[in-house]
Amino acid sequence: MTPQVGSIWVISGGPGAGKTTVSRALLQHFPLGLHLPIDDLRDFVVSGHAPPRLDHPPEAARQFHLARTSAAQTARLYAEAGFTVAVDDVLWPADLNVLQRHWSGLDVRPVFLAPGLEVAHARNATRTNKTYDTGTLVPLIDGLARQMPAQGYREAGWTVVESGALTVEETVKALVHLF
């Protein structure tokens, strides 16, 4: 028997938005779930790793493109095998077009988490899931908050969740209810 094709959730938001936490909690609601954090794929680069910066240097952009393409292809493979997949990254609405080239015919659910700047900073200050000093993300959080207004995501058809006052469970419940 061929398994039913799973959906692909694309979870975006700035650093500290809760993308990883929400993705992992969301996938617990499905019998088969795969989490593909773009940051983890980028961390596989052993030498020549180009960190993210607000000015988007060419090598960092190239490495993000490679990681996103890899995640898109892996997501398709797993979704076609019946897994629900969550891809999490700091994505702009136009970035979804690059991913969707690999997802023709699949159920893709783009979500933008918008916790607010104060909440993102508080979460970043207490996170333990990174192998580097998360203080280095402070200028990125500030800069990306200005570059990533929630309204632009709404206009592009993304589901926007104002998650700052919600628990992880409440955020997941909202997502499951909206789809």
Q: How far apart are CA 156 and CA 176, in angstroms?
A: 20
Q: Please report the domains of the chain, with CATH numbers, ordered by start residue.
A: 8-178 (3.40.50.300)
Q: What does the block give as tokens for 36?
A: 């593909």
* Residue 127 pLDDT exceeds 80: no
* Residue 30 pLDDT exceeds 70: yes
Q: Which tens digit of pLDDT belongs to each residue from 53-62?
A: 878 899 999 9
Angle between helices 168-178 and 19-27 (to 10 degrees): 60
* Residue 134 pLDDT exceeds 80: no
pTM: 0.90
Percent of the chain with pLDDT over 70: 93
Q: Which tens digit of pLDDT belongs to each residue from 59-95?
A: 999 999 999 999 999 999 999 999 999 999 999 999 9
DSSP output for 30-73: SSSEEEEEHHHHHHT--SS-----TT--HHHHHHHHHHHHHHHH
